[in-house]
Amino acid sequence: MSNNNLIKGSLQTIILKLLEENDRMYGYEITQKVKELTAGEIKITEGALYPALHKLEADGLLTTEIEQVDNRVRKYYSLTKDGQKEVDNKMAELQGFVENLQRILNPTWNPGLT
């Protein structure tokens, strides 16, 4: 199974976290940032990225601004107030999931005892 399949369920959390740290980003920039941070190990596919961005925008977690760059329009995404609140929830959810996964994969692992 490729990393892409594993990453699917966490895509929204990744986007929200990146936008929390980078203020505003456009679609292509997000794919490049993820590639850069993971040394190319994780690639966000465009097929998943734009539907996720549009969904987050429709849910009121992201807002957009349009800027003219050369002879084209660039759409920047940034977090709304609700989006900023949601980052912590999503991060806690994901961290909980990773801990549970660790318990399944490595039953001797117990973060509370280390």
Residues contributing to the site for other proteins (CB under 8 A): 26-29, 40, 43, 45-47, 50-51, 54-55, 57-58, 60, 63-66, 68-75
CA 82 to CA 90: how far, in whole Å?
Answer: 12
Measured from the CB of residue 111, what is the shortest distance to other proteins in angstroms? 35
Question: Judged by CB, which is closer to other proteins: 9, or 60?
Answer: 60
* Closer Cβ to other proteins, 46 or 99, answer by number: 46
Q: Are the C-beta atoms of residues 16 and 83 closer than 8 Å to each other?
A: yes
Amino acid at 41: E
> What does DSSP assign to residue 41?
S
Residue 106 Cβ vs other proteins, minimum distance, rounded to whole Å: 31
Q: Whose CA is closest to 76, among 68, 84, 67? A: 67
